[in-house]
Amino acid sequence: MVEQTSRPAHSGVGSRRRASIGATPSTARGRRTRAQLLDAARVVFERDGFLDARVADIAAVAGIAHGSFYTYFDSKAAVFRTLVNEVMETGLYAPGRPASPRTDGRVPTVAEAWRRIEEGNRRYLELFQRDRKLLALFEQVASFDEELRRYRLELRQRSVTRAADGIRRLQGWGLADAELDAELASHALNSMVTQYVYFWLVMGQDLDEGASVATLTRLWARSIGLPPP
């Protein structure tokens, strides 16, 4: 059953509370309650799916009053967006992740360039393995929720830009095909990896992990003109 979109009477009070505490509660109790709600939302969304999930169920799993939910989030869509954002920002886009094979000014070896591509593929795979149910829901909900659609496209562009910058560096160092359009190549290669991993881990294709990482890495590296390591 799809949850009704109307707000309960106390949601106005919740709006005022949200405005007062901001995105991050200032008290330890508030931060703890918000974290409980996010943990509970993950359980409910992964159990029931997005359309059948209810705010009342999220509050019940979190062990808080139904009305208290609206102190932190204005809807189940809002808590879902927050949950997906935190998963992505602490996983694939965690601060400090190197954006290129080398950042110290030295031209990398071919082996180092291959290794960096492999690390990127393995990192994406590990994120998807850890959060496959939630990320599969993200893909579904982004097809009808405009805000999540925009966020999904933003994440896609961030991946494309990061990879394109890496390809351009390799081209500048004389390691990759100089005639390749780095942006378009990055779009194509990102699509290859995301679709491969989606059909493997979400749709249930029986594929070997080690062979998959090695094959994706080889296809990525050779397609941009990297010689064998």
Contacts of 61 by beta carbon, 8 Å cutoff, 6+ apart: 40, 43, 44
Give the residue-averaged pLDDT of 154-170: 93
Tokens of residue 80, six digits? 């879902």
Q: Is 229 helix (H, G, I), strand (E, B) or coil?
A: coil
Q: Is the pLDDT of residue 28 over 80?
A: yes
Instruction: Give the CA radius of gyration of the chain.
Output: 21
Question: Both tokens of residue 194?
Answer: 């995301």
Q: Which of 172, 137, 131 is nearest to 52 (CA)?
A: 137
CATH topology of domain 91-223: Tetracycline Repressor; domain 2 (1.10.357)
Task: Give me the chain's average pLDDT, please.
Answer: 85
State how far the alpha carbon of 155 is from the alpha carbons of 51, 61, 128, 165, 179, in Å.
Answer: 23, 30, 14, 15, 27
**Stretch 179-198: mean pLDDT, rounded?**
95
Per-residue model confidence (pLDDT) at position 187: 97
Tokens 């080889």 belong to 218
pLDDT tens-place string over residues 123-161? 888 888 888 889 889 989 999 989 889 989 998 999 899
* Token pair belonging to 174: 């004389």
Instruction: Name the residue with tokens 């990398």.
Output: 108
Instruction: Please give the Cα distance from 119 to 137 (Å, whole number).
Output: 25
pLDDT-derived band at 15 (thresholds 50, 70, 90) equals: very low
Instruction: Report the pLDDT averaged over residues 29-34.
Output: 92
Mean pLDDT for the stretch of residues 106-125: 91
Q: Are 224 and 120 in contact (CB under 8 A)?
A: no
Tokens encoding 188: 């194509």
Q: Does the domain at residues 11-78 carry the CATH identifier 1.10.10.10?
A: no
Listed by start position, the domains of the chain span 11-78, 91-223
Q: How many helices (H) and strands (E) does the chain have?
A: 9, 0
